[in-house]
Structure 1
Amino acid sequence: MNKPAGTNKTADASHTAGTSRAARVPRVRHNDYGILEPPALGTWRPELTVSVVIPAHGRQEDLERTVASLAAQTYPAELVEVVVADDGSEPPLDVPGARVVRVTDGWGRGAARETGRLAATGDVVHWLDADMVLAPAHLEAHMRWHHLIDHAVVIGDTRFVDAPGEEGVQSEYTRETLESTRMLKDAGAGAYLLHTGASSSVRADLLRAAGGVDAGLNMAEDTELGYRLAQAGAVFIPDPEARAEHVGPSTVMRREKDVHRHNWSYLGDLVPELRWLRAHPHRHWRVPYVRVVVPATTYEETRGAVDAVLAGTPADTAVTITGPWGELTDGRRDCLDEPLLDARLLTHLYRYEPRVRFAEDEPLSAAPTPFLLRLPAGWAPGADTLSRLVRLADADLLGLVCVALAESPRGVVAARLERTAAFARAARLNGADDDLVDEMFGSLWVSGAEYGFVPVAEAESPAGDAARWRAVAAERLAAVKSLKAEVERLSAEVERLSAEAGAESGEQGRLTSLIRHLRSAG
């Protein structure tokens, strides 16, 4: 039924995706996929299988049209399966050319996508909306990237039309994003924001590593999944040759304000990089922005380090304390002299603190949290240490910031701020190697004293300096607000005097001069 891409007259039968790849897997820096060289359409022989997953609720006719366009693809038919995830349609969907699986656990788009993912058998999962009409080379354009690297997330060129065959337009957000980021090559850590369920594809194992689809999300599930794929090391690639028509406007086009109002209430909890959704200074959030690993030593030393972290900025910071927690028992013991007394006291101290968890070993990754700080025993950060380190890392999208704290007989004692996405990508290529992270994201050494690290014994009390300066800042803001109100009052007075006939120029000049002075002072 389908013409395999390798049967094109210009194709070399011996030129397969597997044999054409260099022994060294390409190493994409940040999201600049320009180093990759995908084959021209129709000039290569595919090897990977793909499962096209279409979540649907009703819309039988639209589905049949979408599946018909899948049947006309240049990608080899024997490498393609179509899975329709039926989200409670009545009567149930029956789509020729597709395997229909019924959503039985939950409902909505997230549940349907996850049901389809779990049923898929392909090397690649290709998401597709139910109201799409694909150009014949759509799948082939997607799949050529997945034959180059195993951590690509490919985004199709979706044009919105009122009826099939029209010219169509991209969404305004997509067009502006692509134009301003050199087709996402310069999008950096925010490339995932263009990830959409209308037409995107990802290796099944990368999708599994990211945790699959959040089945509890009925909207914004594609953005949230894109964020977790980024933390798993993904490179986001929009392909203008993966053309498709979306018949009818998207929900965002029809009800943009309502969609944002709905989605932002969920994404603020799940995507910590959307900092503007986390303006509240004291909220607890499901996914932290930074996770700090603190090794358990004595009760006092560990408490000093953990309390310093919790009192600092950013507020959405969490702590993992590593120690021998599994050795603690509930049996009779000497309460004051048991061997693991310090560990027991720490578990009681932080048992009900939602930002603290206990682990036997250091985590390999903080995902989906975007940053992990590994803090050596005996050291504490200052009130603004973490915020400054993250700003430093984000300025150049660094994958690793090493902080020199002290010299020891075994070498330099250092803290490490690790970007989750950088180490995840390195792990997919050659293990979580610092040199590899440096090659793809960059790294830097800085002085601990410069960034506010001190021995725990020298750390400020959480109720001390940091709290006082926050109070001072609040007073300054109140003063600024009062001055702005005075400027507005005087501005209104000037306008009133200007409008009155016979206003004395000297009085007006005096008021104008006073306003200028107040504005410069504020």
Structure 2
Amino acid sequence: MTRVRHNDYGVLRPPATGSWRPALTVSVVIPAYNCAEALERTVGALARQTYPAELVEVVVADDGSEPPVDVPGARVVRVAEGWGRGAARQTGQLAATGEVIHWLDSDMLLAEDHLEAHMRWHHLIDYAVVIGDTRFVDAPGEEGVQSEYTRKTLESTRRLKDAGVSAYLLHTGASTSVRADLLRAAGGVDTGLNMAEDTELGYRLAQAGAVFIPDAEARAWHVGPSTVMLREREVHRHNWSYLGDLIPDLRWLRNHPRRHWLVPYLRVVVVAAAYEETRASVDSALAGTLTDAAVTLVGPWGKLTGERRSNLDDPLLDLRLLHNLYAHEPRVTFAESAPATAAPAPFQLHLPTGWVLGADTLAKLTTRADKNLLGLMCVALAEGPDGVVTARLERTAAFARAALFEGGADDLVDEMFGSEWVSGNEYGFAVAKDAEPLTGDPAKWRALAGRRLGEIQTLRAEVERLQGEVERLSAAEPPPAEDDAHGPFRSLIRHLRSAG
């Protein structure tokens, strides 16, 4: 299986439609709600596909239609729990039996080789997410146009080859396909979402190692405008209320300086050891300028039972103290072993116990990794008897993709994403005893900055008033005499003007 670097799928050479022999089965999953006429048209188009009929099943997830959906050529499953597009898509994919899941909206018309165009990519690699070329039309038979967002994104990224880690933003449920195993590894569809579920799923597929491939030959037509086309501002207002919690990549939705977010941007892994050293490491991770960082504290927490013990001579005292300290901190999670992945968080930092982070360490590391699309940053901290003491920043998507192949994970990550060694001093790492104390109150400094801004605005208003006064006096006749009482006033205005 070919290894794709970042999202540059140009190394793949799919066969021309009609010139190859398919083998994979595909389940076309269509969520439906009170759309019988459009649904019959869409399912009818599937019956005319060039992809072998014996390899195709059509699953319609009926989201409470009245009367219930009954469409020839499809297996209908009723949504039993929840409602909306997320619940319908998840119900449909759980009922599907195909090796590939092909999402399709109920109001789509497909070119006869649409499925075949999708499926040729899935025969090349196991981690493709194929995006159909969807055009919007007012009536069947029209050529239609792409959405403006899709058109601009494809033009600016060489059809997503240069999109890097943001390629998932073009993922849509209108006509996309993915291997069933990859979909389920990513966690399936969030049943609680009835809008933007496709964007959120795209993000999690990216963290699972997916490559996003827009295929111009997978032609499809959406009858009627999308909801975004009709009510864009309202759609964004609705979706952005919760996408900030679910997609940490959308940094501009996380502009609050202190609040807690459901999915962290970065998870720091610390192994519990001596109380003071471990506390220093954990606290430094929670006190940085990257406020949506979380900590996984690894230790044998199951040994902490409630039987009578000596409070001060407990052999597990340090472990117990750490549990006491962070039991109610929402950004700290206790784990028995180091997690294999930080998913759905995009980054994970393994921090040696007793080492602490500077205020900007996490922000600087992730900025560097994003700038160069790195999958791994190894931070050299010190040289000890067992070798170099190292902190590791790992990109979730890079290590998930590397896990699809045989070989050393670090080497595979370097090949497909890139890796880099840096110095701990350069990024603000220090041992606990040499670190600056975690003092200071950001709120206090913001309040002070606010007061200073208010003072500046007051002074600017006074300058504007004085400038208006001098302009009024300058227009007055006769010209002022040398001993004019306003002379000092005019000098002040000239001074203020020259000072900006």
Distance 1:178 1:489, change over 3 A: farther
State the distance in 2 between where 1:72 and 1:336 align: 76
Where do 1:257-296 residues align within 5 Å? Answer: 257-296=233-272
- Aligned partner of 2:94 in structure 1 is 118
- Indicate the SS of the match to 1:353: coil
Q: How far is 1:266 from its partner?
A: 1.1
In structure 1, the residue corresponding to 2:92 is in which secondary structure?
A: helix
Higher mean alpha-carbon deviation, 55-64 vs 338-347, is at 338-347
**TM-score normalised to structure 2 length:** 0.94
> Does the CA contact (< 8 Å) of 2:209 and 2:397 recur in 1?
yes
Q: Tell me the CA shift for residue 176 of structure 1.
A: 0.7
Distance 1:501 1:172, change over 3 A: farther
Determine if the alignment matches structure 1 residue 502 to structure 2 residue 497. no
1:134 pairs with 110, 113, 126, which one?
Answer: 110
Hey, what's the Cα distance between the residues in 1 that align with 2:319 and 2:12?
51
Q: 73, 81, 89: which one pairs with 2:49?
A: 73
Other-structure match for 1:4: none
Point out where structure 1 has 5 or more consecutive residues left out of the alignment: 1-24
Q: Does 1:475 align with 2:457?
A: no
453-462 vs 173-182, greater mean Cα deviation? 453-462
Name the amino acid aligned to 1:483: I
Residue 425 of structure 1 is matched in structure 2 by 401
Q: TM-score, normalised by structure 1?
A: 0.90
Q: CA deviation at 1:275?
A: 0.6
**What's the offset of the Cα at 1:463?**
2.0
1:202-213 matched pairs, under 5 angstroms: 202-213=178-189
Deviation at 1:483, TM superposition (A): 3.2
Specify the SS of the correspondent of 2:233: helix
Q: CA offsets, 1:7-53, max 9 Å, x none?
A: xxxxxxxxxxxxxxxxxx21111111111111111111111110000
2:21 match:
45
**Per-residue deviation, 1:58:** 1.1
Match of 2:127 among 151, 154, 169: 151
2:43 aligns to what SS in structure 1?
A: helix
Tell me what 2:138 maps to: 162
1:92 and 2:68 are equivalent in the alignment: yes
Q: Distance in 2 between matches of 1:488 and 1:237?
A: 55
- 333, 341, 363: which is aligned to 1:387? 363
- 1:320 is the counterpart of 2:296: yes
Letter in 2 for 1:238: P
Count the aligned residue pairs.
491
2:392 paired residue among 388, 406, 416: 416
Q: Which amino acid aligns with 1:52?
A: V
Cα offsets for 1:462-499 (capped at 9, x unmatched): 224xx47x744653465356435644664576578769
Structure 2's unaligned 5+ residue stretches are: 480-486
CA shift in 2, pair 1:483/1:62, >3 Å:
same
Asked if residue 104 in structure 1 is aligned to residue 77 in structure 2, the reply is: no
Identity %: 69
Alpha-carbon offset, residue 514 of structure 1: 3.7
The residue that corresponds to 1:308 in the other structure is: 284
From the CA coordinates, give the structure whose radius of gyration is larger: 2
CA 1:65 to 1:325, structure 2 compared with 1: closer, same or farther past 3 Å? same
Distance of aligned partners of 1:82 and 1:513 in 2 relative to their CA distance in 1, 3 Å threshold: farther
RMSD: 2.2
**Residue 380 of structure 1 aligns to which amino acid in structure 2?**
V
Distance 2:415 2:120 in 1: 25
Equivalent-residue separation in structure 1 for 2:354 and 2:187 (angstroms): 35
Q: Does 1:252 align with 2:224?
A: no
- Contact 2:470–2:493, Cα closer than 8 Å, also in 1: no
SS across alignment from 2:243: helix
- Cα deviation for residue 286 of structure 1 reads 0.5
Bigger drift between 487-496 and 40-49 goes to 487-496
SS at match of 2:405: helix
Kindly tell me: are residues 197 and 477 of structure 1, through their superposed partners in 2, closer, same or farther at Cα, counting changes over 3 Å?
same
Change (3 A) 1:91 1:328: same
Q: Which residue of 2 aligns with 1:55?
A: 31
**Structure 1 residue 313, shift from structure 2 partner:** 2.1
> Contact between 1:398 and 1:442, CA under 8 Å: does it hold in 2?
yes
Task: Give 1:191's aligned amino acid.
Answer: A
CA–CA separation in structure 2 for the residues paired with 1:196 and 1:69 = 20
Structure 2 residue identity aligned to 1:217: L
Q: 1:475 is matched by which residue type in structure 2? A: L
Distance 2:213 2:466 in 1: 57
